[in-house]
Amino acid sequence: MTDLNLWKQHLGVVPDEVWRRTDLETLVLADNDLVEVSSALGGLRRLRMLDLGHNRLAAVPASIGDLEGLTDFLYLHDNQLQAVPPEIAKLTRLRYLNISNNQLTALPEPICDMAGLVELRALDNKISALPGAIRKLVKLRELHLRNNALTVLPDEIGQLPALRQLDLRGNPLASLPDSIAALPALEKLDLRWTHFPLPAWCAELEARGVLVYR
């Protein structure tokens, strides 16, 4: 078996034998009251999916960058992360990343080097800023930023050629950059629970078939 599902086993600590399973392609360690993960994680180089969600992690080991086979999903949501290691930038083949429900105050810039990302979920953090380097996520189709602390967005957000869904619900935005109007693939712009005047170009987006929720 190349899949190991240890969801909600009340482990507290990951057993050493898990790190010896170098054949694993899927590893689920969600909801286990974990406060740390061993650097031995980096030895599981065949992993395609890793789920560390719903734990109590304040950090992720730098060795996560050694998971060169990680292509499908990485779940880090519902932890206590205030940052991610710079080495996460090495995961250039990963398509889906979920860092929701953590303690992030800014979108970590190393994520912007994860060029393969198709979907990024960073809901329910304390993110007050996005780096201009977000423009490098040229394959990104969905960007979910609901319930953060964003007051402005960088102009570079309009340089995401594949972006289809942009979820900004529940942010204290004062305005939006005009560059969003130029997103060629945009299908859905969610602005519910925000309180600023809609820019005129929102009507133009709707005219071309974009769903604008307010």
Question: What is the pLDDT, as a whole number, of residue 142?
Answer: 98
Query: Which residues of the chain fall below pLDDT 50?
Result: none
User: What CATH number should be reported for the domain whose range is 1-103?
Assistant: 3.80.10.10
In CATH terms, the superfamily for domain 134-214 is: Ribonuclease Inhibitor (3.80.10.10)
Q: Which residues of the chain does CATH 3.80.10.10 include? A: 1-103, 134-214
Rounded to an integer, what distance in angstroms lies between the CA atom of residue 105 and that of residue 126? 5
pLDDT of residue 177: 98
Please report the sign of the dihedral spanned by the C-alpha atoms of residue 192, residue 172, residue 104, residue 68. Answer: positive
Q: pLDDT exceeding 90 applies to what percent of the chain?
A: 99
Q: Count of alpha carbons within 13 Å of 154, Cβ hemisphere only?
A: 15
- The pLDDT tens digits of the residues spanning 42-98 come to 999 999 999 999 999 999 999 999 999 999 999 999 999 999 999 999 999 999 999
Confirm if 18 and 4 have CB atoms less than 8 A apart. yes
Query: In the prediction, which pLDDT does 26 show?
Result: 98
Q: What is the pLDDT of residue 196?
A: 94
Angle (CA) 51-53-57 rounded to 5° is: 115
The CA-to-CA distance between both ends of the chain, in Å, stands at 47
Report pLDDT for 1: 76
Residue 80, pLDDT score = 98
Instruction: Using a cut of 0.95, tell me whether the model's pTM lies above it.
Output: yes
